[in-house]
Amino acid sequence: MKRIQPSALVLIACAFASRAQPAQAVLDPQVVIHDIEVRTRAVHETADSLSVSDHDPRVSLTFRNIKLADISDQMNAIDRDLRFLDAHKASLAPWEVEAIGQSAPWMVQTAIDTDAAIEALKNESTHLAFAPNYNADVEKIVADSTKAQRVLHDYLKLQSARKQEHRAVNDLGL
């Protein structure tokens, strides 16, 4: 499993936080932003299932490792998408820059928490009851991924409403 590189996410978050004014869009980054939103929702759902299963002694450490690997894979894909958007930042619409800028810190924290949960689980061989850091890290993954997903979802929903309004205004000839 490839390790998440939170430091790379931090650099990308800082780049978006600068809020440079983008030029006219020449690509459709909205699809990439939507993909990131879908991935953050998947991270949330996977971490939530881990959180619920933490109190069930019948759930194996192997299952937990597999679920954390899934989260790690999603976070690595998000990192690739953020790198793509960062490379094309000059062509992003202002709302796209804002959406990534506001959600990136939550994605960075999710990556850090995922690494911490993986490390805590590696150090635990039998009982999670003795691994409170793992449980706390999983809860943080749930919370932080939810925040990132909500920010992206809200920006995408707002942009869709703006497009509908624009079409309605044009259809009415206003």
Lowest mean pLDDT among 49-63, 104-118, 131-145, 152-166: 49-63
User: Percentage of the chain surpassing pLDDT 90?
Assistant: 60
Is residue 63 in a domain? yes
User: Percentage of the chain surpassing pLDDT 70?
Assistant: 80
Residue 77 has pLDDT above 50, yes or no: yes
Number of domains forming the structure of the chain: 1
Q: Which of 45, 78, 5, 131 is nearest to 86 (CA)?
A: 78
Q: What is the mean pLDDT of the chain?
A: 84
pLDDT band at residue 3 under the 50/70/90 scheme: low
Is residue 1 in a domain? no
Neighbours of 97 (CB within 10 A): 21
Is residue 118 in a domain? yes
CA atoms within 13 A of residue 158's CA, in its CB half-sphere: 11
Report the distance separating Cα 91 and Cα 93, nearest Å: 7
* CATH code at position 101: 1.20.120
Residue with tokens 């942009």: 159
Is residue 50 in a domain? yes
Q: Are the C-beta atoms of residues 152 and 40 closer than 8 Å to each other?
A: yes
Question: What range defines the domain where residue 120 resides?
Answer: 6-18+27-172
pLDDT (average), residues 22-50: 83
Lowest mean pLDDT among 11-25, 70-84, 95-109: 11-25
CA 51 to chain centroid, in Å, comes to 18
pLDDT band at residue 10 under the 50/70/90 scheme: low
